[in-house]
Amino acid sequence: MERWERWNSPELVADDYELKSLVQDWEGLTLVFLGRKTEVTLVYREQLLSFRSCDEGDRWKTVDTVLADHGKHFFRGWLAYKVSESDYASWFSRESFGSTTVDEILHLAFVTANDIVDVLSLREPTVTISCIS
């Protein structure tokens, strides 16, 4: 069973975020989230395995399960979550015939009021915070 916990990267701050952009190109994957006070840029330059982006309304089963485990305010004001025992990571490992094991995979989920972006990688992304004036 999946376990969700806040991913407490030292750069992240509490805010109400929305997905501003998601760009995958030859340089990697760049996610930009806009909050009321801050803009967060996450960059995966290497060791990116897979990602998916869904409207949060299409992930109600996941949201409902996580909120049942952690309480109705778990997603409020926070952006990033680490998912252990991830179904998505297990799927990826099976698809790659185990060339990448589940234990090697870092599954981070970025949750806003309107989107859930899941990223599987072998390393943490680079995180940059900009203050909005």
Kindly list the domain boundaries of the chain, sorted by start residue.
Answer: 3-131
Predicted pLDDT at 111: 96
Q: How do residues 29-86 score in pLDDT, each as one tens digit?
A: 999 999 999 999 999 998 999 999 998 888 888 888 888 888 888 889 999 999 999 9
Task: Identify the residue with better confidence: 113 or 21.
Answer: 21
Predicted TM-score of the model (pTM): 0.93
The structure tokens 């680490």 sit at: 82
Task: Identify the residue with better confidence: 119 or 73.
Answer: 119
